[in-house]
Structure 1
Amino acid sequence: MKAAAVFSDNMVLQRNRNIRVFGTCSKNEKIITVRIPELESFARAVVKDGRWEAVLPPRKEYSSCTLEISCGAVKKVFHNVAIGEVWLAGGQSNMEFELQHERKGAAALASCYSENVRFYYTPKCSILGDELEQAEKESCWRTPSPDNAKAWSAVGYYFARELSRRLGVTVGIIGCNWGGSSASAWISRDYLSCDKRLSPYLDEYDEAIKGKSDEEMIAEYDEYSTYQWAWEQRMIKFCAENPGAKWDEVLKNCGENRYPGPHSIKNPMRPCGLHETMVKRIAPYTLAGVLWYQGESDDHRPNTYEVLLKLLIENWRDLWKDKELPFMIVQLPMFRYIDDPDTKSWALIREAQENVFKSVKNTGLAVCLDCGELNNIHPTDKSQVAHRLYLQAMSEVYEVITRRDSLPPMYDNFEVIGNAMLIHLTNCEMGLGGKDEHCLDGFEIAGEDGVYYPAKATVRLPYIELRSDKVKMPAAARYKWTNYADVGLFGINDLPLPPFRTDKY
């Protein structure tokens, strides 16, 4: 009998909800019990097909107790177990971004000893096997110290710190993220294949590996990994010696960048791969909710991201046996590489994220439009992103603040009067604020021909009036419909007006 690797000393269990404890067993191990002796909590596990799962009844917050798992003469005891709030920090590199590299990370690490937060990092292995089993044996929940916390998710840590201070309980973060990953990597094949609009993800992969044995695919990926590691060392050295170098100069001097490598059963970016090697290893560990910071690696297929994210949420809720599992979504900030054209793909991803928030229950939207940097896909200040996720949790999950405080003014609808278009906003009762005299830049209007022109914007709450000498009969409008631009228009709560367009279809 074994408990899943996510159960260890120093773990945090979710308060006020059924606590699921699970693992694997042999066919002869049929009676497995779980208990928390200090709280007189007991459950007998259901055993089926080599897996077991017990459900302990809900308990209030508790600072330190033990969890005992017994099977015959075998007993496993976990110590210093806290009962509090547990959140999963999911997504790609901006959620993965380590506290030691964050703008204020050094100060945060120096003072982290006193914070009532803990962290478990789901082992990152691209394929099932001995390497993953060994990584899981070495994994465990950790308490905060400068050495322990340096590689924790900066967003996850800041969120947990603020939440713990507000609620007065231990907050645990389960890191489950991988840089460069598409949402398609985090979803099961059954779910990914159930909507034809998402078929390119699987079709491209299946076609690429057709006729190849597992051994061939592993060998190809290992060769790529060796090459790519050497390439990255050359790239780092060249960029350090040539700050500000253009990308074509990097390629000319360092050779071909082969990332993300060949399609392979060993490539972590493959469809459904991380669902198999990471998500299923920790589910259904009882959670308060999910923090989701992802979308950058799906900008090549932005028109289907809404469908993809909705299916991911449905898939995870099914896996966690919680049809109301909260998802707090980071709306992507402004970003563009300086040499790249403005494809507006990130605007489409942001729109998809907002649509999911508006149409899927128990979701939140952390609007972070102003948290990006030109030419840097990994902004170093993660505290604002974490704070906005915290605000969403406070209003959408814990219900201790209202949306007036957690959301910015947002587009609602429009009307046309003469040669003016009136953009009606919600959540603007307290007014709008501008960063500078250019704060109303970024509005555009178009006539029936669909050609957009910059609009003069005048605030007349609860709407913004748009006009342009070049558009006599406005038919559509949009705001900050771009991958990157300066952001200057905010609500009184300092949250930026999110981008929008009136002609979505």
Structure 2
Amino acid sequence: MRFSRIVTLALLLITSAAAPRFAHADVTLPSVFSDHMVLQRSAATPVWGRAAPGEKITITLAPSAAASSSVAPLATASTTAGADGRWRIDLDLSGVARVPAGPHRLVVKAANTLDISDVLVGEVWLASGQSNMARTMSASASKDEIAASANNSIRFFTASRKTSPAPLADVAGKWVVAAPGTTPGFSAVAYYFARQLQAELGVPFGVIHSSWGGTPVEAWTSLDALKSDPAISPAATAQVTAFADFPATKAAWLAALKPWLAASQREDRPTPPDALASFTTGSATDGADGWTKVRLAGKLPGERILWVRRDITVPPADAGKPLTIDIDEIVGIDTVYLDGKKIGGRTLETFDGEGRSRLNSRRQYRVPASDATAGRHTLAIRIHAPLGESGINAGYFTAGSQKLFGDWLLKTEHAFAPLTPAARAASPGPLKAPLRPWNVPASLYNGMIDALVPYGLRGFIWYQGENDAGNPLRYRATFPLLINDWRARWAGSGLATAATPLSFYWCQLPNFQEKTDDPNASPGWAGIREAQTLTLKLPRTGQAVLIDAGEAGDVHPKSKHEAGARLAALALAHDYGSPVEYSGPVYDAMTIEGPAIRVRFKHLGGGLVARPVPAEYLYQSVPQRVTRPLKRNSPDSQLEGFLIRGAGGKWEWADARIDGETVIVSSPRVPKPEAVRYAWFPNPTCNLYNAAGFPACPFRTDTD
């Protein structure tokens, strides 16, 4: 009998140990379901999470003032967790009379109970993109505007930045109510969008903000979607594979490189202390003691150890603050000094390869606040370049607010002996870095978007494209692919169906870079703007034209009012039924009338308007406002920005005048015109608007 009891007890212990650990798992919710959240008003607003398989989950939405269970809930529903522990409940939050805006409590009850407080029911939008969407109110708004920003009906959930090779279970973050202490951290574009809509409609507005600067559209698209397009799949999958394989690739490269460096006598060697002082802080003049002038960013001599240096100035306003030295890419193994003190660098073991816009090629070194004193300092960079190439490739090239482009001094510390043909043939060559983690296809979709699906939304707003401006033809495919991908993910959630997808509105890239007086200059960003405009072929999409809202010298224009307001106009017109104009003049058709071309437009908005051409244009707003004189290309024309061309000829600046609801374009240099362009440069001078105040969208009638 005793033996039987022992066996029985042993079997019970074994059974208990073998039982799944999640048998008593607590019910959990994603981070986006948390205090102060805004739920989208709809007849089927999703709430989801995890629990033990087979566990019953009940959700109740009740007024915050409800102190007991005797108060009737506003909405309640139950379900059972599936075999994988996942569950989802769609709450009926339709009807303001039955379910007012709040505040409410959302109670989720299973084996444990979750109680979420201060919940509002209203409108929710997802804001995403790259740096211009990420730009915060602290960098865009005035102190008075922030001081007056308190509004309990505007709330933001800002997603933590995270990359991942596979979809994550959660996106970290929390809901925050608009107030002077919190608004500075909000996306400025999204805040102005939400503020205008909240003021117009008088309902709560929630924004889920998920963006990351310097990112391509492919990073925000799911890998399944990227693989579905035969033209996009090969490159995307190759980049994903290269990133995953990089640790092994680097290990093999180091294993081949180190013995080769030793055999060819190209290993790095310490700089003697007296020489180090001379290179980093000693007297240096062009033409003296081996120093020569060199323009950077650019190429530098290779197969040697070399130094480049220059003086920088810390202004009194920045003194006593950490100073960031930001260099896009240094080709070679670098060590950076300020006033003789090492502030950063790479070794062979920490070097992660070469290739602009790739993993860890960008150098960002921080000078401690105690060393960032007001006045002049010497910045010196030592580069070990054993493989035949050296240089500084820089889109970013700054020391604090000071740009580092221009004249530097160069001196060789040690030139390596020439390689024999056999040694050169045996060289393992440079290590090509994979893409940065936030540039890898699908990495941001996996880390910052997937776990937000299927949160109830009204739609999406998007500000991105700068990172893809160099390949506008590819963007014609990748941008619609992202839109269709996100819409498919959200189909059947809240307001979305396959037949009526969520609205998707974006900012067309603004004017940027230097102006030109050459009518045949490179169109630059005109190509990516055209790719964005062509995406309007998708249903329920809209574009905020910002051709008048940029800055020539800054890819991040300070003002975000125009972007937010024009996106809000799209939503008011399309999603909320307001009888407002939401677009400037859009090219419709053209007819050739002898020596002129007549252009017709849609979205007249009360009539075409030629705004006065200013005498100056905005070059930059930060760190201080800078304007430059504006030289007109068609000084006798009512409208600026039009080009005209005949068959096989060159483009000419045109005379363009409003004629009723059309524009007549001509030039005495083009007697037989065939095509017209408008605002077809990175930073065009253009002044065609409609009476509603919206600028005309850039366009061309040719297809070259």
Q: Deviations 1:317-360 (Å, cap 9, x if unpaired)?
A: 11112331101111111112689x96424212211222212x11
Residues paired across the two proteins, number: 483
CA–CA distance in 2 between the matches of 1:311 and 1:41?
A: 37
Equivalent of 1:492 in 684, 688, 691: 691
CA–CA distance in 1 between the matches of 2:105 and 2:575?
A: 28
Q: Does residue 13 in structure 1 map to residue 13 in structure 2?
A: no
Structure-1 residue corresponding to 2:58? 33
Structure-1 residue corresponding to 2:591? 415
Structure-1 residue corresponding to 2:91? 56
Structure-2 residue corresponding to 1:189? 223
Change (3 A) 1:473 1:236: closer
Matches within 5 A, 1:296-445: 296-321=466-491, 322=496, 323=498, 324-336=501-513, 343-357=522-536, 359-402=537-580, 405-428=581-604, 430-437=606-613, 440-445=639-644
CA–CA distance in 2 between the matches of 1:126 and 1:250?
A: 37
Q: Does residue 23 in structure 1 map to residue 61 in structure 2?
A: no
Matches within 5 A, 1:33-432: 33-38=58-63, 39-45=73-79, 47-48=81-82, 49-59=84-94, 60=96, 61-71=100-110, 73-102=111-140, 104-114=141-151, 116-127=153-164, 136=172, 139-199=173-233, 201-202=235-236, 205-206=239-240, 208-209=242-243, 211-213=245-247, 225=360, 228-230=363-365, 238=399, 240=401, 242=402, 245=403, 247-248=405-406, 262-263=433-434, 267-321=437-491, 322=496, 323=498, 324-336=501-513, 343-357=522-536, 359-402=537-580, 405-428=581-604, 430-432=606-608
Change (3 A) 1:445 1:172: same
CA–CA distance in 2 between the matches of 1:376 and 1:292?
A: 20
CA–CA distance in 1 between the matches of 2:488 and 2:605?
A: 39
Q: TM-score, normalised by structure 2?
A: 0.64
The alignment yields a C-alpha RMSD, in angstroms, of 3.1
Identity of aligned residues (%): 30
Structure-1 residue corresponding to 2:338? none
* Residue 427 (structure 1) shift: 2.2
Q: Deviations 1:400-423 (Å, cap 9, x if unpaired)?
A: 124xx2111111011112121111
Indicate conservation of the 8 Å contact 2:243/2:440, yes or no. Answer: no
Give the gaps of 5 or more residues in structure 2.
1-26, 64-72, 252-348, 369-378, 380-395, 412-431, 614-634
CA–CA distance in 2 between the matches of 1:173 and 1:297?
A: 24
Which range is displaced more, 430-439 or 211-220?
211-220
CA–CA distance in 2 between the matches of 1:455 and 1:226?
A: 45
Change (3 A) 1:145 1:214: farther
Change (3 A) 1:365 1:135: closer
Change (3 A) 1:128 1:252: farther
Structure-2 residue corresponding to 1:256? none
Matched letter for residue 382 of structure 1: K
Change (3 A) 1:24 1:301: farther
Which range is displaced more, 152-161 or 224-233?
224-233
CA–CA distance in 1 between the matches of 2:602 and 2:398?
A: 50
Indicate conservation of the 8 Å contact 1:183/1:308, yes or no. Answer: yes
SS of the equivalent of 1:23 reads strand
* Residue 17 (structure 1) shift: 4.0
Q: Deviations 1:239-266 (Å, cap 9, x if unpaired)?
A: 64x5xx463559999xxxxxxx9425x7
Change (3 A) 1:36 1:108: same
Change (3 A) 1:204 1:427: same
CA–CA distance in 1 between the matches of 2:674 and 2:398?
A: 52
Give the gaps of 5 or more residues in structure 1.
254-260
Indicate conservation of the 8 Å contact 1:69/1:75, yes or no. Answer: yes
CA–CA distance in 2 between the matches of 1:250 and 1:118?
A: 48
* Residue 489 (structure 1) shift: 1.9
Matched letter for residue 405 of structure 2: W
Q: Deviations 1:11-59 (Å, cap 9, x if unpaired)?
A: 0001134211112334x35322222134431223464434221111133
Change (3 A) 1:222 1:15: farther
Change (3 A) 1:252 1:88: farther
Q: TM-score, normalised by structure 1?
A: 0.87
Which range is displaced more, 44-53 or 302-311?
44-53
Change (3 A) 1:87 1:67: same
* Residue 486 (structure 1) shift: 2.6
Indicate conservation of the 8 Å contact 1:45/1:55, yes or no. Answer: no
SS of the equivalent of 1:476 reads strand
| Higher-Rg member (1/2) | 2
CA–CA distance in 2 between the matches of 1:315 and 1:13?
A: 23
CA–CA distance in 2 between the matches of 1:329 and 1:457?
A: 29
Indicate conservation of the 8 Å contact 1:444/1:479, yes or no. Answer: yes
Structure-2 residue corresponding to 1:257? none
SS of the equivalent of 2:102 reads strand
Which structure shows the higher helix fraction? 1
Change (3 A) 1:199 1:220: farther
Which range is displaced more, 166-175 or 110-119?
110-119
* Residue 144 (structure 1) shift: 1.6
CA–CA distance in 1 between the matches of 2:126 and 2:119?
A: 18
Indicate conservation of the 8 Å contact 2:240/2:440, yes or no. Answer: no
Indicate conservation of the 8 Å contact 2:48/2:89, yes or no. Answer: yes
Indicate conservation of the 8 Å contact 1:239/1:250, yes or no. Answer: no
Q: Deviations 1:52-81 (Å, cap 9, x if unpaired)?
A: 21111133341200111122x211010000
Q: Deviations 1:153-185 (Å, cap 9, x if unpaired)?
A: 011111111111111111111101101111111
